Amino acid sequence: MRHKHRNPITGSVLLCERPCEPCTTQYPRFAARNPLIFRPGRQNAYTVVWCPGLLDLHCASVGTEPETTVENEQWASPGPAEWQSRHDRLESILALTEASLARLEFRDLLIELLHRIREVLEADTAAVFVLDERPRQLVAWAAVGIEEDSLRTVRAPVGKGFTGRVALLKRTLSLDTVDASTVSNPAWLEMGVRTMLATPLLYEGKLVGVLHVGTLTERRFGPEEEELLELAAGRLAGAVRARQLAGEQEAAELLERSLRPSALPYLPGLSLAARYIPAERAVGGDWYDLFALPSGELWLVTGDVAGHGLQGAIIMGRTRSVMRAYALLGAPPDEVLTLTSRKLTHFEPGAMVTAVCATSKPPFDEFLVCSAGHPPPALAIPGKAPTFVRVPNGPPLGVKSPSGRSSALVPVPAGSVMVLYTDGLVERRGQIIDAGLEHLLASVTTGHPDAVCNALVDNLIGSKPPRDDVAIVAVRRDEG
């Protein structure tokens, strides 16, 4: 079976005896897709495939060899000049994200990108939907060619409607029929959109959102349009994800700062100090808490949420608040941790938190300590070498356990210092945790808690920000 070649510039038609080698070797992706973009509607039909960079239209025979040359030019793919023009305009899109990202407000950047994408693809509408992870819904961030107010309240569940299917399948899809059975957003129907093309926004293989365009007239999107939209989406996904990370970092830092105790409690006979050292790159889920109940009972807590960023900070804040609430009801440490774990298991499935609580009542000569998968407190007693408190270590919060939790009663003689901390203080990459624990004990003294905290920071962290955030609480039972 012979293949017909027509040069779009000269109009000449050539016949060859073998498949189109340039398509199958130099452009395998285009050849594999073999899009049907020309079919005259007769028995002797054939498919036209345009390969960018070549000057021929490669026509793969379907059925018998056609007797006529290519007609109905409006159905054929763009010629080399038009393709090059589109490619150049796409380059302007990609250049915009690099050169102008720093000077444009993010929403202005999105609008400018959508205008250019719509122009390149000769579409009437363009929109960016971004994934909201928790409810697994797509939310409109920006749109052109359609009133944004009509999209502001739209939530497209992943897997539902055209946009949701693109997100679920993570691949480019086109839609030739737009009606209530194919789209979930009535705004597209009200505007009269007839066809759509959409592609997922993927960053490091993870779904970020969906980019799509639409037309008000009948149209069939070809592989060239798909390629252009995918290229634009690839660059746009990076910009969207960068904005998300920056926003999450800012929100997490603000939330973390708001949850630190504004002032340490004053209790006669005790000296208190605390430190929080943020991680080098991202806000973690480590925290500390010190508070006194109306009864005069002191509570010391350090905890660590598995995970970083905004979600870790949110879980940290919720855990801290619920522990305070249970403590205010008069529950002992083991019961507070049990109830908090139950709450996390039910309302925050998948979350995991380690924590240690130490409580004491006047005259503060003993502390009741309970741990949930957390490193043990260190205790320095005058005239003795510092040691770690022996306390039963139950499972982390959020992990179901068939057995209950228990506490240990720890005597604290006058002049003693107890230190609670998070694992960021003692864990180092490429080093076993025992080495960090030994360094911690070597730095704990019976001095003032402020001096003890400073020594721990200087000796175990130094001047460089740690890889993981660190929380430290120190309490000293004063003599006399």
Distance from the Cα of residue 408 to its chain's centroid: 40
The DSSP element (H or E) to which 90 belongs, if any, is helix 80-99
Tokens of 73: 């030019």
Residues 6+ apart with CB under 8 A from 382: 413, 414, 415, 416, 446
pTM attached to this predicted model: 0.58
pLDDT at 248: 59
Q: Give the Cα separation of 213 and 145 in Å (integer).
A: 10
In DSSP notation, 268-302 reads: TTEEEEEEEE--SSS--SEEEEEEE-TTS-EEEEE
Contact 226, 172 (CB under 8 A): yes
Residue 58 · residue 52 · CB < 8 Å:
no
- Let me know: does 304 contact 286? Beta carbons within 8 Å: yes
- pLDDT of the residue at 346: 92
How does 353-379 read in b/e, with b if 16+ C-beta sit within 10 Å? bbbbbbbbeeebeebbbbbbbbbbbbb
For residue 149, the model assigns a pLDDT of: 65
pLDDT digits (tens), the chain, 480 positions: 334 444 333 333 333 333 444 434 333 333 333 333 332 332 333 333 333 333 333 333 333 333 333 333 333 445 555 555 666 666 655 565 555 545 566 777 788 888 888 888 889 999 998 888 777 888 888 888 887 666 666 778 898 889 999 999 999 999 988 888 888 878 788 888 999 999 999 988 889 999 999 999 988 888 888 888 888 888 788 878 777 666 656 655 655 566 566 678 899 999 999 998 877 665 667 889 999 999 999 999 999 998 766 677 788 888 999 999 999 999 999 999 999 999 999 998 889 999 999 999 999 999 999 999 999 999 999 999 999 999 999 999 999 877 789 999 999 999 999 999 999 899 877 778 888 899 999 999 999 999 999 999 999 988 777 777 889 999 999 986
- The predicted pLDDT at position 64 comes to 35
Answer whether 167's CB lies under 8 Å from 200's CB. Answer: yes
Give residue-wise pLDDT tens across range 150-184.
Answer: 666 677 889 888 999 999 999 999 998 888 888 88
Whether the link from the prior residue into 363 is cis, omega within 30° of 0, is yes
Q: Which of 213, 223, 231, 235 is nearest to 122 (CA)?
A: 213
Contact 177, 189 (CB under 8 A): no
Concatenate the DSSP letters of all residues of 37-58 into one string. Answer: ----SSSS-EEEEE-TT-SSEE
Q: Where are the beta strands (DSSP E) in 323-451?
A: 353-360, 366-372, 378-380, 387-388, 393-394, 408-411, 417-421
Domains and CATH numbers, the chain: 3-77 (no CATH), 81-251 (3.30.450.40), 260-477 (3.60.40.10)
What is the predicted pLDDT for the residue at 199?
94
Our separate counts of H helices and E strands in the chain read 12, 21
> Could you give the 3-state DSSP secondary structure of residue 162?
helix
Those residues whose C-beta lies under 8 Å from the C-beta of residue 29, and which sit 6 or more positions away, are none
List of E strands, 311-467: 353-360, 366-372, 378-380, 387-388, 393-394, 408-411, 417-421
**What is the chain's percent helix, strand, coil content, to nearest 5?**
35, 25, 40
